[in-house]
Homo-oligomer: A and B are copies of this chain.
C-alpha cells in the first residue's frame, strides 16, 4: 500500500485542526511547544518506514513510556505481575484516587497513573541502575542511541505532581509499593520525561506488531501470547478514560501521552505514530486521534 501518499493526504487534512486542541500546561516545558507541530510515521513489519511533517523531531513521550515499563515489568514478573495491578479499563479519570480506595490499592490497569507507579516500583526492585537500564532498553527497541530523558521535564513534573505524590503515598498505605515513595516518583517522572520522535516510536514499538520479536536486536522481548495481551491492554486501557471512544473511532490498540503523541499497533502489519501537541478534553492529541481515524479509513486496515 502507498502509505507515503496516505500520510501526505492526512497531513494536509489535519492542518486545519491543529488549533483545536489545547496544549498541556501543567509543566512549563510542555506549554512552550508549538501547537502547529504535526508529525506521523508508519513502520511496517516488512521493514519499510514512511513519515510526514515533524516526524523526526523528538517530543516528550510522557505516558507512552508506560508501555515500555509494562513490557519490561512483564518480562521480569510474568503472570505474577497481575497480582499487583489489574487488566480492566478504569471507567473514570486517569488519575482517580476513588477507584483505588474502593479497590484497596490495586490499580485497575498498568496505564493509569496509579498502575504505572506500581510498575515503576517493580522495575526499581529489579534494576540495579534503573534509569540507565531503562533508557538502554528503550534505545534498543527503537534502534537508536540518540534517545534522551529530559531532566528539566522530570524535575518540573515531580514538583507539580501533587496528585501523583498523593497516589504514591496512597499505594504505599495499601502496601502496594516496596520502594520509597520518593524513589518511585522520581523514576516515574524520569521515564515520562523521555523524548522521542514519531519515527523513533514507530520503530520502537514494532516488536508489538511483530509477535514480540524486536527486529533490530533480534530479541524476543515478549512471547507472542504476552504480546497479544499487551496489545489487548492498549486497546481497552491505553487512552485513559477515552479508551472506548478510541476503540470505537480508531479501532486499534494505542497508547497516548499528554505531550501529544499517540502510538498504535496493527498486529502483524505495522505501527503508526503521530504527534500533535493540542489535546482534546480527554487528554489525547486532538489532531493525532483524528489522523489515526483517517489512517484506518483510508487504508481500510483495522482489527475489527
| A interface with B by C-beta (< 8 Å) | 86-92, 96-99, 101-102, 108-109, 162-163, 165-170, 172-173, 181, 225, 227-229, 231-233, 235-237, 241-245, 247-249, 251, 253, 267, 297, 302-304
Assembly stoichiometry (copies) = 4
Give the top 9 A-B pairs by smallest Cβ distance, nearest first: A91-B91, A88-B244, A162-B173, A166-B169, A89-B89, A166-B170, A231-B304, A165-B169, A303-B303
Contacts A165-B169, A169-B169, A267-B303 given; indicate if A89 touches B236 (C-beta within 8 A). Answer: yes
CA distance A227 to B251 in the complex (A): 11
Some 25 contacts from A to B, beta carbons below 8 A apart, are: A87-B244, A88-B243, A88-B244, A89-B91, A91-B91, A91-B108, A96-B101, A98-B101, A162-B169, A162-B170, A165-B166, A165-B169, A165-B181, A166-B166, A166-B173, A225-B297, A228-B302, A229-B248, A229-B249, A232-B251, A235-B247, A236-B243, A236-B244, A237-B244, A267-B303
B91 and A92 within 8 A (CB): yes
B233 and A244 within 8 A (CB): yes
CA distance A8 to B168 in the complex (A): 49
Q: Is the contact region of chain A dominated by helix, strand, or loop, or is it mixed?
A: helix
Contacts of A102 in B (CB 8 A): 98
Contacts of A225 in B (CB 8 A): 297
A170 and B244 within 8 A (CB): no
B87 and A90 within 8 A (CB): no
A88 and B241 within 8 A (CB): yes
B163 and A169 within 8 A (CB): yes
Contacts of A181 in B (CB 8 A): 162, 165
CA distance A181 to B91 in the complex (A): 27
Partner of A244, one of B99, B109, B163, B245: B109
Nearest Cβ on chain B to A252's Cβ, whole angstroms = 10
